[in-house]
Structure 1
C-alpha cells in the first residue's frame, strides 16, 4: 500500500458551498445538508480517456493545465503544495456541465516546471497571480470567472487586482485576505500540514473536515481526486513548499493589497466553512468587509475542503453566482 504518496497528496491540498437548486439565494449563513463524500453516481471529467494535461508557455516556463467542459470560461486556482490533480473530480464534473473549466499547476508544481534560475526563493503571491494571467493569455481567453481555494484564493485576489479587465467574477473558497487583520494558520495546524507518514493521516483528515465527515473522507478522498490519464503530479519539492510559505507570510503582512481590494470592481462570492480549522471563517468575514462587491456565505458543518465535502452543491452554488 502506498500510504506516503496519499498523505503527501492530502498535505498538498491543506498546506494549501449551496442552497436549493430551484432558488439560489446568497445569504450570510447557509447549509448544504448532508455530506456528499462517498457514493456519488455522476460524471467526472477524468473518465474521458481523451482528456490530457498539456502545457502553455508562461513567463516562468511551461505551465501544466487541463481544459474541459463547455460554456463560459472558469479558471480554478489551487492551494498550498497542491497539484491540479487535487481538485475533487465530481466538483469539476458538475462545473463542466455549464462552463469551460481550466485547472493548472502553480509554478514548481506538477507540470509547471520553471526556467533555470527562476526556481529558487523570491517569488510571491503576485508572481503566482502573474502565472495565472499567463494561462489566460496563453489560452487566448479574453475574460474568465476565477475560483480560488485556500492559497489559491490569495492568488485569485491578486489576479483580480492586477488584471481586473480579465476577471469577470471572483469566487474565494476557504481563504484569507491580505494584511495584518487576517487570521493565519495556527502553529498547531501548521505542524499537521507539515507532517507525513501513516500516523499523520488521521490528523490531516481531522484538520480538513468536521468530525462527522472524517470517516467518509478517510475512505474516499484519494479516489475522488481528479486523475487525468497519464498525469502524475510529482511530489512538491521542499524548496517550493518553503517559498509558498514565505509568499503567504508576506500576504498576511500586505496592507497595501488590502487597501487596493477596497477599490476592487470585481463581483465576488466568498464561501467559508463554519468549521474550518485551517483558515478560520473570520477571514471570510473580513474579506466581506474589504471587497465592495462581495457576498459572503458561511456554510454550516463545513471544513476547509468544501469541494470534497460538498462537491455537487458547491459547484451548483458557484454556477448560480457566476450565471447571475
Structure 2
C-alpha cells in the first residue's frame, strides 16, 4: 500500500488526538456554576437593611468589629489579605443569610478591630488571627459554628479548626492554600499588584482577581456589589497591617507543624478553588484535598480568585448544600 503523504498523515494524527481529548471525561472535582452573575442582581442584600450595622465584641487583644444578620445555624466568615468585611459580595451574603445566622468581622488592625499597641503586638501570625476568630465566637456565645474562609481567611480558618476543633462543625475553604512548603504561595508580581501601588491600580487588581473574559464587567460592578452596611468605615487597610498579614502568610507557607496537624484533622471540609485563579493557584486546592482526611475538592471552571463576586448566588447555594449535609 502506498504511504499517505506527510500532510495527510499529520492531519489524521491531529484528528485522532482531538477525538481522544474530547472523549476524555472531566475530572471528578470539576464543577461549573454556569453564567457569571456579575453586576447588581435583583435579589436581597442585607446591607440594604438599616438595622444591619457594625458592632463590637471584646476579644483578648481588644475590640473586634463585626456585623451579624440572617437566621439559622451560625456561619462565621473570615476574610482575606488586605480585605475588610466590606470585601464580601453583598448578594453572596444575602443568599447565605436565607438559611444562616451570618457573622462577618474584620481581622485585627482593620477598621474597628483595634487595640493598644502593647496588647495588639506588632508581630503576629495566622494563629493569632485564628484566636481573634475564636474570640468572636466566644463573645457572641456561639458554641459551635460552620466556618467559611476566603484566601488568607482560609488559612485562618484552617488554624481555627486545629485550635478549636470541637467548635467548628464544618470548614469551607475558598481560594486558599495549605500550610507548609507544599503550598504554592502568591506570586511576587501578583502580591505587588494587590498592594494597590502604581498606575491603574484598580484595573490591575481586577485583572488579578478575575479571569480575563470577565474583567470588564467586574471592573464596572465590583465596588457597587461590595457589602456596605450603614456607617461602615473599615477601608482602607493600613499599610503596616497589610505588611504584617503578608509576613503571617509567609510563615504559614513554612509551617510544617500546622501541615502535620491538618493531616489528622477530623473536621468535614469543602475546598473550593478557581480554575483560573492567578493569586492562589488551584494546585493549592488539590494539595488541601490530599492533606485533610475529610476534604472534598471542587474546582470551579471559569473562576478566578474572587469567586463570591463572579458567582454570588451559586457559590452560596453550593456552600449551603455542603453545610446542610
What TM-score comes out, normalization by structure 1 length? 0.90
In the TM superposition, 1:135-284 aligns within 5 A as 135-196=136-197, 199-284=200-285
Partners of 1:114 and 1:308 lie apart in 2 by: 31
Shift of 1:202: 1.6
Partners of 2:79 and 2:118 lie apart in 1 by: 24
In the TM superposition, 1:20-31 aligns within 5 A as 27-31=28-32
Name the structure, 1 or 2, with higher relative contact order (CA <8 Å, separation 6+).
Answer: 1
In the TM superposition, 1:101-112 aligns within 5 A as 101-112=102-113
Work out whether residues 164 and 266 of structure 1, in 8 Å CA contact, stay in contact via their aligned partners in 2.
yes
**Aligned residue-pair number:** 299
Work out whether residues 40 and 225 of structure 2, in 8 Å CA contact, stay in contact via their aligned partners in 1.
no
Shift of 1:120: 4.2
Alignment-derived partner of residue 304 in structure 1: 305
Shift of 1:110: 1.1
Moved over 4 A (4+): none
Alignment-derived partner of residue 91 in structure 1: 92
Partner of 1:118, secondary structure, is: helix
Alpha carbon RMSD of aligned pairs, Å? 1.2
Partners of 1:49 and 1:194 lie apart in 2 by: 32
The 10-residue stretch of structure 1 (202-211 or 158-167) with the greater mean CA deviation from structure 2: 202-211
Work out whether residues 274 and 303 of structure 2, in 8 Å CA contact, stay in contact via their aligned partners in 1.
yes
Shift of 1:197: 5.7
Partner of 1:46, secondary structure, is: helix
Partners of 1:79 and 1:54 lie apart in 2 by: 20
Change (3 A) 1:297 1:190: same
Partner of 1:283, secondary structure, is: helix
Partner of 2:102, secondary structure, is: strand
Shift of 1:196: 3.0
Partner of 1:302, secondary structure, is: coil
Unaligned runs of 5+ in 1: 1-25
Partners of 1:92 and 1:164 lie apart in 2 by: 24
Deviations 1:251-288 (A, max 9, x none): 00001100000100100000000000000000000000
What TM-score comes out, normalization by structure 2 length? 0.90
Work out whether residues 84 and 234 of structure 2, in 8 Å CA contact, stay in contact via their aligned partners in 1.
yes
Alignment-derived partner of residue 286 in structure 1: 287
Shift of 1:201: 1.8
Work out whether residues 269 and 321 of structure 1, in 8 Å CA contact, stay in contact via their aligned partners in 2.
yes
Work out whether residues 27 and 295 of structure 1, in 8 Å CA contact, stay in contact via their aligned partners in 2.
no
Partners of 2:211 and 2:236 lie apart in 1 by: 27
Shift of 1:118: 3.2
In the TM superposition, 1:126-141 aligns within 5 A as 126-141=127-142
Shift of 1:78: 0.1
Shift of 1:122: 1.7
Partners of 1:165 and 1:315 lie apart in 2 by: 24
Partners of 2:93 and 2:173 lie apart in 1 by: 16
Shift of 1:27: 4.8
Work out whether residues 27 and 296 of structure 1, in 8 Å CA contact, stay in contact via their aligned partners in 2.
no
Partners of 1:203 and 1:230 lie apart in 2 by: 28
Unaligned runs of 5+ in 2: 1-26
Work out whether residues 120 and 239 of structure 1, in 8 Å CA contact, stay in contact via their aligned partners in 2.
no
Partners of 1:300 and 1:274 lie apart in 2 by: 5
